[in-house]
């Protein structure tokens, strides 16, 4: 039976809507497309104007995946494109600025959508700073929560910034700081490295900045490499390609203080894919900050 979804005045036909993408949970392509249609109002503000990369699973989680940056020639004209420079040429990325784009990507078995930390009009100027706290295994989430809270204390308390937190849909947490786009990627990445180093020095029994997995032991890795040019982060409210279809979900800091929080708490399979109540990141856009004063404070902490 033919299935189509109309959102924002655009009708998107679904091919093979009953194809199961998450075998353990019975979640189909149509389920994914309907979720992205339903969540578009919350999701698009975090994707609009950003080049994206797609993680596609044509045969579901049990099949082969591929990571795609270039927009295929068959994508419809109403999907916006933006060209991004790279060594030796350019890549034409898609941009999600319409609910129908999210639905179309779901029909392409694009489960995960990852966006740049900069916007199309100033690709060399990030508008957010990201810390990814990743555990060595899936059993250390209480330590991830502690690491994120320590990061908040440093960023908000010592450095005078305003930070936000979310689940990644994986095993860890992301801590974000909104930026005013005056600093370039090199400046932002250097700042992030120094923040991570201070955290690791303050909490040497819990946090590491060691990039090699075999040298981290059982410590929480403070990953800052998403702050480099053309790196991406999973979209807020985006589904991850994991059993249960967990969702990267914006949180309040009170959520992270709650010992009951789980990294997979928000998921399609559980029927609770969004945070209840008001958007915890409603004021993110108003918090765009410069790093000048924070960098001066950080330099004092680093000496």
Same fold, 3-116 and 124-230+237-303: yes
Please list, residue by residue across 134-151, b when 16 or more beta carbons sit within 10 angstroms of its beta carbon and e when fewer do. Answer: bbbeeebbebbbbbbbbb
Give me the pLDDT at residue 82, please.
Answer: 96
Give me the pLDDT at residue 87, please.
Answer: 79
Query: What's the mean pLDDT in 35-58?
Result: 95
Q: Which helix (H) or strand (E) holds 84?
A: strand 80-86
pLDDT (tens digit per residue) in 102-111: 999 999 999 9
Give me the pLDDT at residue 205, please.
Answer: 95
Query: Are the C-beta atoms of 85 and 129 separated by less than 8 Å?
Result: no
Q: What percent of the chain shows pLDDT beyond 90?
A: 85
Whether the full predicted model's pTM is greater than 0.75, yes or no, is: yes
Give me the pLDDT at residue 80, please.
Answer: 97
Pick the CATH number of 124-230+237-303 from 3.40.50.720, 1.10.3720.10, 3.90.920.10, 3.30.43.10: 3.90.920.10
Query: What's the mean pLDDT in 262-283?
Result: 81
pLDDT (tens digit per residue) in 286-295: 889 999 999 9
> What are 128's strand-pairing partners?
178
pLDDT (tens digit per residue) in 95-143: 999 999 999 999 999 999 999 999 999 999 999 999 999 998 767 899 9
Distance CA 234, CA 168 (A): 7
Reply yes or no on domain 3-116 having CATH 3.30.750.80. no
Give me the pLDDT at residue 215, please.
Answer: 87
pLDDT (tens digit per residue) in 231-250: 999 999 999 999 999 999 99
Give me the pLDDT at residue 61, please.
Answer: 97
Distance CA 195, CA 187 (A): 12
What are the residue ranges spanned by the domains of the chain?
A: 3-116, 124-230+237-303
With vertex at residue 116, the alpha carbon angle to CA 84 and CA 69, rounded to the nearest 5 degrees, is 55
Give me the pLDDT at residue 286, please.
Answer: 86
pLDDT (tens digit per residue) in 206-234: 999 998 888 898 999 999 999 999 999 99
């Amino acid at each position: 039976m033919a299935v189509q979804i109309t959102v924002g005045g655009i009708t998107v036909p679904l091919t093979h809507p009953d194809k199961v993408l998450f075998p353990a949970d019975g979640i189909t392509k149509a389920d994914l497309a309907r979720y992205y249609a339903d969540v578009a109002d919350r999701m698009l503000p975090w994707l609009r104007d950003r080049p994206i990369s797609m993680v596609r699973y044509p045969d579901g989680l049990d099949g082969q995946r591929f990571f795609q940056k270039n927009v295929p020639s068959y994508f419809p004209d109403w999907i916006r494109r933006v060209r991004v420079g790279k060594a030796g040429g350019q890549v034409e990325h898609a941009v999600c600025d319409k609910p129908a784009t999210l639905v179309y990507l779901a029909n392409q078995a694009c489960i995960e959508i990852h966006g740049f930390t900069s916007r199309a009009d100033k690709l060399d100027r990030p508008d957010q700073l990201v810390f990814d706290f990743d555990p060595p295994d899936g059993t250390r989430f209480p330590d991830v929560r502690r690491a994120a809270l320590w990061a908040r204390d440093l960023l908000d308390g010592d450095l005078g910034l305003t930070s936000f937190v979310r689940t990644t849909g994986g095993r860890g947490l992301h801590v974000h700081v909104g930026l005013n786009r005056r600093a370039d990627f090199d400046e932002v990445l250097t700042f992030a490295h120094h923040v991570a180093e201070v955290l690791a020095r303050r909490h040497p029994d819990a946090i590491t900045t060691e990039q090699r997995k075999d040298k981290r032991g059982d410590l929480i890795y403070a990953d800052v490499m998403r702050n480099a040019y053309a790196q991406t982060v999973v979209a807020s409210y985006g589904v991850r390609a994991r059993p249960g279809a967990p969702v990267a979900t914006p949180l309040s800091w009170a959520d992270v203080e709650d010992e009951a929080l789980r990294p997979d708490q928000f998921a399609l399979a559980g029927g609770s894919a969004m945070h209840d109540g008001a958007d915890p990141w409603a004021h993110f856009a108003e918090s765009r900050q410069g790093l000048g004063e924070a960098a001066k404070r950080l330099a004092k902490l680093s000496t």
